[in-house]
Amino acid sequence: MTSALSVPTDWVRVRAPGKVNLSLRAAAPGPDGYHPLVTVFQAVSVYEDVVATAADDITVSMTGTGDQIVPTDSSNLAVRAAQLLASRAGISDGVHLHIDKRVPVAGGMAGGSADAAAALVATDELWGTGASREDLLDLGRQLGADVPFALMGHTAVGTGRGDMLTPAMVVGEFHWALAFAEHGLSTPRVFSALDDLRGDEVPESDPDSDIELMQALRTGDPHALGEALHNDLQPAALHLLPDLGRTVQTARDAGALGVVVCGSGPTVAALGRNRAHAQVVAASLTLAGVARQVVTATGPVPGARLLV
**Identity of the amino acid at 232:** D
146 is catalytic: yes
Helices (H), 158-210: 187-198
Residue of 164, 73, 159, 80 lying closest to 115 (CA atoms): 80
String of contacts with ligand ATP for each residue 165-194, x by CB under 6 A:
----------------------x-------
Q: Is 113 in the site for ligand ATP (CB under 6 A)?
A: yes
Taking the least distance from each CB to ligand ATP, the nearer of 187 and 279 is: 187
Beta bridge partners of 96: 53, 59
Question: 258-261 and 305-307: which strand pairing?
Answer: unpaired
CA distance 192 to 109: 19
Tell me the window of 37-45, 71-79, 217-225, 229-237 that interacts with ligand ATP (CB under 6 A): 71-79
| 224-263 residues near ligand ATP, rule: CB under 6 A | 263
With CB under 6 A, what is the number of residues at the site for ligand ATP?
20
Active-site residue (options: 49, 146, 163, 232): 146
Residues 22-51 that bind ligand ATP (CB under 6 A): none
Closest to ligand ATP by CB, 167 or 188: 188
The neighbouring-strand residues paired with 298 are 175
Specify the 3-state DSSP secondary structure of 258: strand
β-partners of residue 44 are 18
Residue 148 engages ligand ATP in binding (rule: CB under 6 A): no
- For residue 49, the cross-strand partners are 15, 100
Return the H-helix or E-strand segment holding 294.
strand 293-299
**Window contacting ligand ATP (CB under 6 A); options: 8-16, 102-110, 169-177, 208-216:** 102-110
| DSSP single-letter state for residue 182 | S
Instruction: Give me the least distance between CB of 83 and ligand ATP, in Å please.
Output: 13
- 107 vs 148, beta carbon nearer ligand ATP: 107
CB atoms within 10 A of CB 92: 8
> Which CB sits closer to ligand ATP, 58 or 70?
70
- Sign of the Cα torsion 230, 297, 177, 51 reads positive
**Residue 14 found at the interface with ligand ATP (CB under 6 A):** no
Per DSSP, the three-state class of 260 is: strand
| Interface region with ligand ATP, contact rule CB under 6 A, candidates 1-9, 27-35, 67-75, 294-302 | 67-75
CA 190, 73, 98: angle at the middle one, nearest 5?
95
Active site residue 124: no
Does position 264 interact with ligand ATP (CB under 6 A)? The reply is yes
CB of 218 to ligand ATP, least distance (A): 27
Residues identified as active-site: 19, 146
Residues at the interface with ligand ATP (CB under 6 A): 70-71, 75-78, 105-113, 115, 146, 187, 263-264
